Structures are given as C-alpha cells and as structure tokens.
Amino acid sequence: MMELRKTLAGRIALTAVATVILLFLALPIVVILVTSFSNNAFASFPPEAWTLNWYKALFADGSKWPAALSLSALVAALSTVFSLIIGVTAATGLVRSELPLRSAVFALVLGPLVIPQIVTALGLFLFFEPAAMLGSPIAIALGHTVLAAPIAVLILIATLRGIDERLEDAAASMGAGRLTIARKITFPLAAPGMIAAAIFSFITSFDEFYISQFLSSVDTVTLPVQVYNSLTFEIDPSVTAVSAILIAFAILALGLVALVRWLGSGRQDSLLSVENTVGVANPGGEAV
Amino acid sequence: MAATLTAGAPARPRKLLASRRTRVGILYALPVVVYLLVLFVYPIFSTLLLSLKDADGSFTLHWYADALTGVNLSVLFTTLRISAETAVLSLVFGFVLAQAITRLKPILAGLAMLVVVVPHFVSALVRTYGWIIMLGDKGLVNETLTAMSVPGAPFQLLYNELGVVIGTTSMMLPYTVLLLYGVMRGVDRRLLAAASSMGAGKVTIFRRIYLPLVAPGLASAGLLSFILSLGYYITPALMGGPNQTMIATLINQQVTKENQWNGAAAQGVILLVLTLAGLLLVKVVTSLGASRKKRSA
C-alpha cells in the first residue's frame, strides 16, 4: 500500500476498490429498502412497478407481525430497564470504588460478548426449560439482558471515566451531600451516556435472535424469529416491509445516539468553564 | 462518618475510608456479578455437565465421540473451513478499506465510516435477506452480469458455499474495518518518516516498519472474525445448502427437532473450547505486539 501512495494510478485503484467494498456493505440494505416498495418482492431487481401492498399486508387480518412486534418491544423495554440498573451499579463499582478482583469482574462482564451466542442460548434454554418458562416474555428479557447488560456496562464505564471527578470533589468541599452530588452533578453529566446505553440495550434485545429462538414458544415469537421463519418456512412477502422498517429503526436509533452525544458534549465544558471563571482548580490556566 | 471526621490520628481515618470505598464497590458490583453468575456462568456450567452425562445420569464421553465422528465431524470441518474463508476475506477487504479511509479527507472519511457502522447496527437477518434478493438468478448481481454479457451468467450464487462466504464476510467486515482503522491510526508516522530519511524505499518501509507495526492488529482482527464466524448460523442457514451446515445450526437442530440435549451440549462445549483457544491466541498476539511497541519506542 505504501508504495502506491504517491502514484496517481495507485490512488485511483485504491479508491475504486474501497468504493466496491463500501458498496458490498451498503447494497444489501439499499436493495431491501427499494424492494419493499416493489411490485414483485421475490428475487427480482430492479423492480418493474411500485406498491405499498407489503406495508398494508403487515396489518391485515391474521398477520403475525403486530404480535411479534409488540412482544419484541415489550421484551426490549424490560431488558433495557434490567441492563440500566445493572449497568449503572456495575460501572460505578468498577470506576469509582476500590473493588477487589476488579479484573475478574471485568472479565465476567466481557464473557457474554465473546462466547458464541448459540452457547449462551443453549445454556439459557437448559436453565428456563425445567422452570416451564419457555415463551415467557420475562424469561426472554432476562436472557437478552445477559447480552445487553455488558454493553451498557462498557458504555457507562466510558461515560463515568469521562466525567471530571474534581467536579464532584468540588461540590463535596462546598458541603453538598452524596445525594445532592449525584442528583446535581453526576447524573446530569452521565445522562447522555445513560441514554446511549439505554438505546444500545434496546437495539441489542430487539435484534437478538439466538436466545429468542431457544426461549420462544409457538405462541410467543419475537420479531427476528418471525423474520427468520418467514425466510425459511413460509412465503410472506411482507417480510420486505418489516426489514425496511427495521433498517429505518436502526438508522433512527444511531442518529438519536449521535444527537444525544452532541448535545451532551458541551455540558461538562460549560461546568468546567464556570469553574475557570471562579478561579478554582485551574492549573496552568490564565488568571481571570 | 462522624468518627472519621473528628478522629485525631490521620492514618486511621484513611484506612477506614479505604475499607468503606471497598465495601461500597462490592455492593455496586454485586448486581452484575450475581446476574451473570446465575444466568450466564451457571447455564454454561450445566451445559458442560449435561454433555458428560448419559440418559441414565451416569458419566460418559459418548456424546463427544458422537460429535467427532461421521456427519458431525464433517459439520465441524465445514464450520472451520467457512470461518477461515470468511476471516481471510474480511481481513483482506478490511485492510484495503481501512487503508483507503485513513487517506481520505476528514469529511469523506466520516461518510465512509458511516457506511461501515450503519450496516453493523442493522439486524443480520435483514442484511442476509438483502443478499438473498441481490444474489438470486434475477437479482441485481446476475442481471448486471447478464447485461454486461459476461459469459456463463446468470451464475449460481445462492445456496452454495460461495453465497455463504459472501454473506458472512459482509457480516464480519465492519468488525475488521473498525479494528484495523484503529490500529492504522495508532501507527506513529514519525517512525516511517525516520526510515525514509535514512534512505529506505517505500517497499522497504512498508515491509520492515509498517507491516510489523500493524501485524498484531491484523492477526487479532483475523482471529476475531474467525471466532465470531464459528458460532454463527443466521447467514449460512439462509444462504447455504445442506453442505454448508455449521455447528451452530446443528446445535439448534438437535435441540428443537431431535430433542437431543446431551449431543447439543457436547457440540456447544466443543464450540466453546474452540472459541476460548482463539481468544487465548488473540491475547498472546496482542501482548507480543505490546512488547514489540515498547521495544521500538
């Protein structure tokens, strides 16, 4: 690569190959979006005529999609609550305290992210089957939390590390109690990270397939499992519309995370600049 | 608290404070530890136990013998082969793309990263479906090839190993691009400049300086996509034929269709051992890389 750097032909070749690879990543998504409005939803591209029929079919009588969607939304909401409780406490413990066996706890948190999901799913199946809890939204949510909570913990660890501890110390030195510090300093600064953690927990659970498939029953099928079934066993062209909605949902969620991060990025700076104007703890700064 | 604030000896309050911080830490870490011990470690442990038990509860290695013979063994080899092909392809594509992105202007680089990151957050099922539409006989790829009058078109691109590897590679690629981009940005450009000022040619700089610096990153990115592919079955199950059955599909079939939990458990443990071996290799490779960086600095 290096030897190509300065030659024009080399640059053009690299750009062309990179563009093809980017298309390789983006095209499957673009094709779904286009096909969801196509008259012929089956393996024919580009479409000959346009229609909204696949979207209408989602809500037709006997459609399985509304039930699958509401189950997935319920499960993801529960899983998000569990993940945030676990995430906030774990991140606080890992970042802001003296924790014995800290690296062991951290390794445990990373475990579900590196172990094949099918193995976790099999273990959870063996766990919930004897309790006759297969198909229970609670069981599926508890299962999803095994994957979603570690992601929340990682995001919140980064959030807490990014908060200047001197702000908390300063508040304490001025006589603020623990609760006041948490409510007026730490929580507002951590809020963007908490929202990001919530969104990522929700997406993780909403898209989760392996655990859902093992913990589902005939009557309770999550959205990804229903998509999988539609692609393997049944022929249901409205799966294109569902896929397009899922793509829109993913883009919306990522946009939301970016927005929250952007809004939150100014906050600690503004607090620190207050600190600067007061003239406290301003090492190396110019006198105000 | 009151006692620590009014205590005269300075050493004692500090010690008390430390132990208090420790107690608070344990309290905060408790939810995640308990949760993962009950719903992650214990279930995997019971999978391990189940794989070692016969129908009557006695100890046996029968399920492992079963998992490592006949059709099951060929599924294991298929899994390793498809994972290796996926890892090599996503490493090559990832290397080229990450290289290209490091050379782009910030705005274009940001856009390119968006194209890498957005698919990563779109459900793998949805992206697989996109590939099925694209690779069919009348899909985008074959229609384009036919229009260009490529001899032999339309090609059979689905329900064979080619389709599976195309699909899984596109699933693993975001990971390798993100990892390699981070590694490449971490390379100290001054080292390259120093070599150049001493008269090294571009090929020599690439081979003797740049490649050794990014090699640990390349190795761990390749291993990571290999490990992630091992336990994967969404894309192989939907885009492959009977000859592309992977170990995760087998586990699913044994549980849901054949009610054969012990066999599935043994397959799961084999998959787990392969994954842990891969992770150990990643750790060795990255620590080798760290010590090399230290020496060169």
Judged by average pLDDT, the poorest of A172-181, B46-55, B238-247 is A172-181
Partner-chain contact B27 A93, CB within 8 Å: yes
- The pair of structure tokens assigned to A62 is 């006997």
pLDDT reading at B249 higher than 90: yes
Q: Does B203 touch chain A (CB under 8 A)?
A: yes
Q: What is the pLDDT of residue A277?
A: 40
Partner-chain contact B271 A85, CB within 8 Å: no
Cβ pair B244, B236 in contact under 8 A: yes
Question: Hey, what amino acid is at A282?
Answer: N
In terms of domains, do A228 and A257 share one?
yes
Q: Does A8 touch chain B (CB under 8 A)?
A: no
- The pair of structure tokens assigned to A265 is 């990025």
Instruction: Answer yes or no: is A271 within a domain.
Output: no
Instruction: Answer yes or no: is A171 within a domain.
Output: yes
How does pLDDT run across A221-253, given as a tens digit for each residue?
Answer: 999 999 999 998 866 778 999 999 999 999 999
In terms of domains, do A27 and A94 share one?
no
pLDDT reading at B292 higher than 90: no
In terms of domains, do A41 and A69 share one?
no
pLDDT reading at B275 higher than 90: yes
Query: Residue A153: its chain B contacts at CB < 8 A?
Result: 32
In terms of domains, do A66 and A185 share one?
yes
Judged by average pLDDT, the poorest of A67-76, A197-206, B78-87, B189-198 is B189-198
Q: Which of B47, B130, B201 sits opposite A32 (nearest CB)?
A: B130
In terms of domains, do A39 and A90 share one?
no
| Count of domains forming chain A | 2
CA distance A180 to A186: 9
In terms of domains, do A231 and A115 share one?
yes
Partner-chain contact B125 A228, CB within 8 Å: yes
Partner-chain contact B32 A214, CB within 8 Å: no
Please give the backbone phi and psi of residue A237, each rounded to the nearest 5 degrees, phi first.
-65, -20
Query: Residue B282: its chain A contacts at CB < 8 A?
Result: none
For every one of its 288 residues, what pLDDT tens digit does chain A have, with 9 covering 90 and above?
A: 444 455 778 788 888 999 999 999 999 999 999 988 887 766 566 677 788 888 988 888 888 899 999 999 999 999 999 999 999 999 999 998 888 888 999 999 999 999 999 999 999 999 999 888 889 999 999 999 999 999 999 999 999 998 888 888 888 888 888 888 888 888 888 999 999 999 999 999 999 999 999 999 888 999 999 999 999 886 677 899 999 999 999 999 999 999 988 887 766 666 655 444 443 333 333 332
Tally A–B CB contacts below 8 A: 273
Q: Does B173 touch chain A (CB under 8 A)?
A: yes
Chain B residue with minimal CA distance to A18? B97
Please give the backbone phi and psi of residue A44, each rounded to the nearest 5 degrees, phi first.
-130, 125
In terms of domains, do A139 and A92 share one?
yes
Q: Which of A25, A122, A209 sits opposite B265 (nearest CB)?
A: A122
Q: Rounded to two decimals, what is the model's pTM?
A: 0.88
Query: Residue A48: its chain B contacts at CB < 8 A?
Result: none
Rounded to a whole number of angstroms, the distance between the first and last alpha carbons of chain A is: 51
- The pair of structure tokens assigned to B63 is 């399920």
Q: Does B237 touch chain A (CB under 8 A)?
A: yes
Nearest to A222 by CA among A128, A136, A126: A136
Cβ pair B265, B48 in contact under 8 A: yes
Burial of B160 (0-12, 13-18, 19+ CB in 10 A): middle
Query: Residue B140: its chain A contacts at CB < 8 A?
Result: 27, 31, 45-46
Q: How confident is the model at residue B296 (pLDDT cuts 50, 70, 90)?
A: low
The 3-class secondary structure across A209-274, one letter per residue, is: CHHHHHHCCCCCCCHHHHHHHHHHCCCCCCHHHHHHHHHHHHHHHHHHHHHHHHHHHHHHHHHHHH
Mean pLDDT within B134-153: 87
Partner-chain contact B30 A112, CB within 8 Å: no
CA distance B50 to B52: 5
Cβ neighbours of residue A34 under 8 Å, at least 6 residues apart?
A: A45, A46, A47
Cβ pair A150, A85 in contact under 8 A: no
Q: Which helix (H) or strand (E) holds B33?
A: helix B11-36
- State which of A5, A30, A50 marks the end of a domain: A50
Q: What is the DSSP letter of B188?
A: -
CA distance A96 to A191: 17
A89-98, B193-202, B220-229: which has the highest mean pLDDT?
B220-229
**How open is the CA angle B113-B139-A48, to the nearest 5 degrees?**
105
Q: Which helix (H) or strand (E) holds A45?
A: none
In terms of domains, do A74 and A186 share one?
yes
Q: Which of B37, B121, B131 sits opposite A203 (nearest CB)?
A: B121
Q: Which of residues 25-54 of B touch A (CB under 8 A)?
A: 25-33, 35-37, 39-44, 46-47, 50
> Which alpha helices (DSSP H) does A59-136 contain, by range?
65-95, 102-114, 117-128
Q: What is the pLDDT of residue A223?
A: 96
- Rounded to the nearest angstrom, the minimum Cα separation between B139 and chain A is 5
Q: What is the pLDDT of residue B293?
A: 65
Query: Residue B271: its chain A contacts at CB < 8 A?
Result: 116, 118-119
Kindly list the domain boundaries of chain B, sorted by start residue: 83-241
Partner-chain contact B231 A118, CB within 8 Å: yes
Instruction: Answer yes or no: is A46 within a domain.
Output: yes
In terms of domains, do A133 and A242 share one?
yes
Look up the CATH number of the domain holding residue A110.
Answer: 1.10.3720.10
In terms of domains, do A41 and A88 share one?
no
CA distance A267 to B187: 32
Instruction: Answer yes or no: is A40 within a domain.
Output: yes
Q: Does A24 touch chain B (CB under 8 A)?
A: yes
pLDDT reading at B98 higher than 70: yes
Mutate to test the interface with B, among A38, A40, A126 (most CBs of B within 10 A): A126
Cβ pair B75, B247 in contact under 8 A: yes
CA distance A123 to A131: 13
Judged by average pLDDT, the poorest of A234-248, A269-283, B179-193, B230-244 is A269-283
Radius of gyration of chain A (CA): 24
Q: Does B126 touch chain A (CB under 8 A)?
A: yes
Q: What is the pLDDT of residue A278?
A: 40
Nearest to B100 by CA among A7, A3, A5: A5
Question: Which residue range forms the structural domain that includes residue A35?
Answer: 16-50
Name the one residue in this structure whose structure tokens are 């024919």.
A44
Q: Does B139 touch chain A (CB under 8 A)?
A: yes
Q: Does B20 touch chain A (CB under 8 A)?
A: no
Instruction: Answer yes or no: is A206 within a domain.
Output: yes
In terms of domains, do A39 and A81 share one?
no
CA distance A190 to A194: 6
Nearest to B90 by CA among B189, B196, B235: B235
Partner-chain contact A119 B27, CB within 8 Å: no
Q: Does B137 touch chain A (CB under 8 A)?
A: yes
Domain B83-241: give its CATH code. Answer: 1.10.3720.10
- Rounded to the nearest angstrom, the minimum Cα separation between B204 and chain A is 9
Cβ pair A203, A77 in contact under 8 A: no
Name the one residue in this structure whose structure tokens are 């090599």.
B88
In terms of domains, do A34 and A81 share one?
no
CA distance B284 to A70: 45
Query: Residue A44: its chain B contacts at CB < 8 A?
Result: 136, 138-139
- Rounded to the nearest angstrom, the minimum Cα separation between B295 and chain A is 23
Query: Residue A207: its chain B contacts at CB < 8 A?
Result: 123-124
Q: Which of residues 171-190 of A touch B (CB under 8 A)?
A: none
Q: Is the ipTM of this complex over 0.90?
A: no
- The 10 Å Cβ neighbour count of residue A182 is 15
Q: Does A55 touch chain B (CB under 8 A)?
A: no
pLDDT reading at B210 higher than 60: yes
Query: Residue B233: its chain A contacts at CB < 8 A?
Result: 118
